[in-house]
Amino acid sequence: MKAENGILRGELKVRGGKLIKCRMKVKNGRIEEIKFSGDFFMYPEEKLEELEEMLINIELKKEKILPIIHHFSENVEMVGADADDIVKVIMKTITN
């Protein structure tokens, strides 16, 4: 992992050329704040904020993040990205 504390940034280009960006504030190895942006879409739109809120205080480990995102993705429609892409950008952000 890159850092236990600080502000981390990462991005991932997914199939079809779509870009997902991730900005995280990390404290003691946990997500304190997280924001996603890019040229992908989520319906309903307000669900993206809900996902960001669900990830607050989660330990920066794939096995902790993965089930949250996969469960969340069952109730939304994503265009230009999928749940695995969201997990990948988070993990890339951690290791950048």
Query: Which CATH number characterizes residue 56's domain?
Result: 3.30.390.50
Average pLDDT, rounded, for the chain: 92
The residue range of the domain holding 13 is 6-95
pLDDT of residue 45: 86
Distance CA 51, CA 12 (A): 18
Q: Which pTM value belongs to this model?
A: 0.91
**Residue 12, token pair as written in the block:** 């991932």
| 24 vs 3, residue with greater confidence | 24
Rg (CA), the chain: 12
Nearest CA to 71 among 51, 93, 91? 51
Distance CA 79, CA 94 (A): 24
Count the domains in the chain.
1
**Residue 2, token pair as written in the block:** 């890159």
- Are 38 and 19 spatial neighbours (Cβ–Cβ below 8 Å)? yes
**Residue 60, token pair as written in the block:** 């920066």
pLDDT of residue 95: 86
**Residue 58, token pair as written in the block:** 């989660």
- Domain assignment present for residue 1? The answer is no
